[in-house]
Amino acid sequence: MQVRSMHFKATASEKLADRRLQDALSKTRGKFVAGRAQAILELDNFDEIRDAAQRIRDRVLEHLDLYLEEFERNATARGAVVHWAEDAQEANRIICDIARAHGVKKAAKSKSMVSEECALNDALEAAGVQVVETDLGEYILQLAQEPPSHIVAPVVHKSKDEVSDLFERHHQRPRKESVPDLCREAREVLRPHFLSADMGISGANFIVAETGSTLIVTNEGNGRLCTTMPKVHVAITGIEKVVPTLEDVTTLLRLLPRSATGQSITNYVSLTTGVRGGGEQDGPEHFHVVLVDNGRSALLGTDFQPMLRCIRCGACMNHCPVYQTIGGHAYGWVYPGPMGSILTPSYVGIENALDLPNASTLCNQCGVVCPVKIPLPDLQRKLREKQVERRLRPWPERLAIKLWAYAASQPEIYSLGARIAARVLRRMGGSDRLIHRLPPGASGWTEGRDMPAPEGKTFHELYRRRGGGR
């Protein structure tokens, strides 16, 4: 997927004006939030489980090399082949080579954000392999030639009518109106692909060091069909997804579906360990696991290491007022919302995603709901500091920050400035007490809304007037 994060401001403005998108977002806004709130009430010790999950993820990151080596050793012992990819290009080359070696003509693909990160579909199609997305949301987006806008609900930005139009155009069948009819049509179209695919491709929510297994969590049966029916199965995932034991996985699984979709457990939790054994009826004859770095190891030992705890639940974007207003495509890369505001600058370079760390109100809803307690607003602030240190922000902005810092450290100057600003803003509000337009440099606050004018007094002045203080 091409990086377009440098165009965040312009794209966000377009999304705000997109009536169809706004209607779609309004229908889904809050659904996952309410579902999560209800689901966590089922757990008497929810906070204790979050603490345990954080410890598991931190333990992995402190000894990542050892757990990855253990995974490789145990996976290899069960007939799998483990590949290491330093970047997206190497991951694509490895998987294309696997396809060539086995004469693959068609790949049935389950949902995988890492494959989106690597633009794997494009690479396989360039190598002559037909790729069929089988997750319903991803399949819809493949027909529309669009990237996902959410990591759990990738097609949340589309309406039922848009999907009906896509199916009618691509399937050449009578237009369906109801969701059950659309789902049935998708099953009918996709079923032959499962039966004829030479290779199945999946992601991995977790990989288990003690057993050499990969694990996927899905709500559709397509994932299991992709991992068991084709003769070749390729699992592609990030190196940070390793978990020490199956017991540790069960702890994380108590949090993942509740945080993602508000479910106690998803419909399918599928473990794949090695190749098909003698006498077994299903499973791949060849099993390859591609472990992708692509910038992850560069975060180890830095202020941003906690971001590698992420279990890709999407809770941060479900609760983010910015994401809920503009959708996922405005962020310009694979990972939207608060998690994307940190991962994208970290993976593609902060200079290519200057606005993303600022795409936040710093309300900390994302940090509060994160199941593994990633301090997302703190990491966004650290990225903002790095931008200033590297002089990546415009010079007027950097000058304003320096002047503000100086004034804030001088109480008398700050107090005088606050008194002047309060009175000027009150006068700008006029008789209706609303500021319709701020001067250049601050005009963004009033481009889409009116700003309430203050009373013309500072907080300290009002406090003293009402009998407080001295």
CATH numbers and ranges of domains, the chain: 44-297 (3.40.50.10420), 395-465 (no CATH)
Angle at CA of residue 339, ends 338 and 344, nearest 5°: 110
Average pLDDT over residues 96-109: 97
**Average pLDDT value for the chain:** 94
How much is the pLDDT for 376?
A: 97
* Distance in angstroms (rounded) separating the CA atoms of residues 68 and 72: 6
Contact, 75 vs 212, CB < 8 A?
yes
How much is the pLDDT for 101?
A: 97
- Enter the tokens of residue 105: 């003509």
- Enter the tokens of residue 31: 């659904």
- Beta-ladder partners of 286: 232
Task: Give tens-digit pLDDT for 298-349.
Answer: 999 999 999 999 999 999 999 999 999 999 999 999 999 999 999 999 999 9
The percent of residues above 90 in pLDDT, for the chain, comes to 84
For residue 384, count other CB atoms closer than 10 A to its CB: 17
* Distance in angstroms (rounded) separating the CA atoms of residues 32 and 258: 9
For residue 35, count other CB atoms closer than 10 A to its CB: 18
Four-CA torsion 368, 264, 40, 150, nearest 10 degrees: 30
How much is the pLDDT for 468?
A: 67
Task: Give tens-digit pLDDT for 137-177.
Answer: 999 999 999 999 999 999 999 999 999 999 999 999 999 99
The answer, as to whether pTM is greater than 0.75, is yes
- What confidence tier does 469 reach under pLDDT thresholds 50, 70, 90? low
Torsions phi, psi of 238, nearest 5? -80, 155
Has residue 188 got a pLDDT over 90? yes
- Beta-ladder partners of 268: 218
Task: Give tens-digit pLDDT for 207-264.
Answer: 999 999 999 999 998 999 999 999 999 999 999 999 999 999 999 999 999 999 999 9
Bridge-based pairing of strands 106-109 and 80-85 is: unpaired
How far from 433 is each of 225, 425, 436, 446, CA to CA, in Å?
Answer: 62, 9, 10, 14
